[in-house]
């Protein structure tokens, strides 16, 4: 998959860099490069005369994997790259204080580490995203909001892949990562009745995984709009 303005490179000579997103953390990020870190990198590249940046894949990685080439989906972005502290829902849930002192200390340690502390960061962001989602759902239940409408529009627009992806992720969590070929026959072979029942039973979790993709997509689009250089995502 590539997101790039190809018309920009019709003539002349150009220079750029290829980087893995995880390798460009800012002081504010949680020990790993995050989507909003991209405009900062792009501004520096632009000042040095570069006019494009290509990223290694940022699709969601398989459980327990750290390689950007181990994606479980061709479409879903990895929530690992979400900037949690940019989420109004996380702030509404209490922010870092809501994670407790032990997790806050682990995040600080991950920021100082020489390498990416994947397991720590994944656990911290999973907890934070669950808190943020609960706050989002609470607010949606009280009254209508622009953000709730935006989420609904995203789910409708991306339904062609998001519906099955979110259901799979919810089922995978329910089975604690057990290989999908070992699931019950009705689910493994996608029997419509079994899928419909699972979608109803796991509706809150399905919605949570849709929420994570909405947040990632929103941050990605916002970051791209701020880039002074072109960007491409490797497949």
The tens digit of pLDDT for each residue in 130-150 reads 999 999 999 987 776 889 999
Across all residues in the chain, what is the average pLDDT?
Answer: 92
Domain 6-233 has CATH 3.20.20.80: yes
Contacts of 208 (CB under 8 A, 6+ apart): 129, 130, 133, 170
Whether 18 contacts 67, CB under 8 Å: no
What pLDDT sits at residue 2? 45
**Token duo for residue 164:** 């099955």
pTM of the predicted protein model: 0.92
Contacts of 233 (CB under 8 A, 6+ apart): 1, 2, 3, 54, 55, 57, 58
What pLDDT sits at residue 10? 58
What is the Cα 164 distance to its own chain's centre?
17
Is pLDDT above 80 for 214?
Answer: yes
Phi and psi at 19, nearest 5°, equal -140, 150
51 vs 211, higher pLDDT:
211
């Amino acid at each position: 998959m590539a997101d790039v303005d190809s018309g920009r490179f019709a003539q002349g000579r150009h220079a750029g860099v290829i980087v893995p997103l995880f390798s460009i953390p800012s002081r504010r990020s949680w020990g790993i490069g995050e989507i909003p870190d991209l405009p900062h990198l792009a501004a520096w590249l632009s000042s040095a005369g570069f006019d494009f940046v290509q990223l290694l894949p940022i699709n969601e990685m398989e459980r327990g994997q750290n390689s950007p080439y181990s994606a479980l989906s061709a479409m879903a972005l990895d929530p690992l790259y979400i900037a949690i502290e940019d989420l109004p829902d996380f702030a509404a849930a209490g922010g870092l204080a809501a994670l407790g002192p032990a997790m806050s200390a682990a995040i600080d340690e991950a920021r100082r580490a020489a390498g990416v502390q994947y397991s720590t960061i994944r656990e911290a962001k999973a907890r934070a995203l669950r808190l943020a989602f609960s706050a989002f759902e609470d607010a949606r239940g009280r009254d209508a909001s622009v953000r709730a409408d935006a989420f609904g529009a995203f789910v409708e627009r991306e339904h062609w892949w998001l519906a099955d992806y979110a259901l799979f992720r919810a089922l995978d969590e329910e089975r604690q990562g057990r290989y999908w070929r070992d699931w019950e026959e009705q689910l493994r072979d996608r029997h419509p009745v079994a899928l419909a029942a699972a979608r109803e039973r796991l509706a809150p979790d399905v919605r949570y995984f849709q929420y994570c993709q909405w947040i990632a997509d929103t941050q990605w689009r916002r970051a791209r709009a701020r880039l002074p250089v072109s960007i491409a995502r490797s497949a």
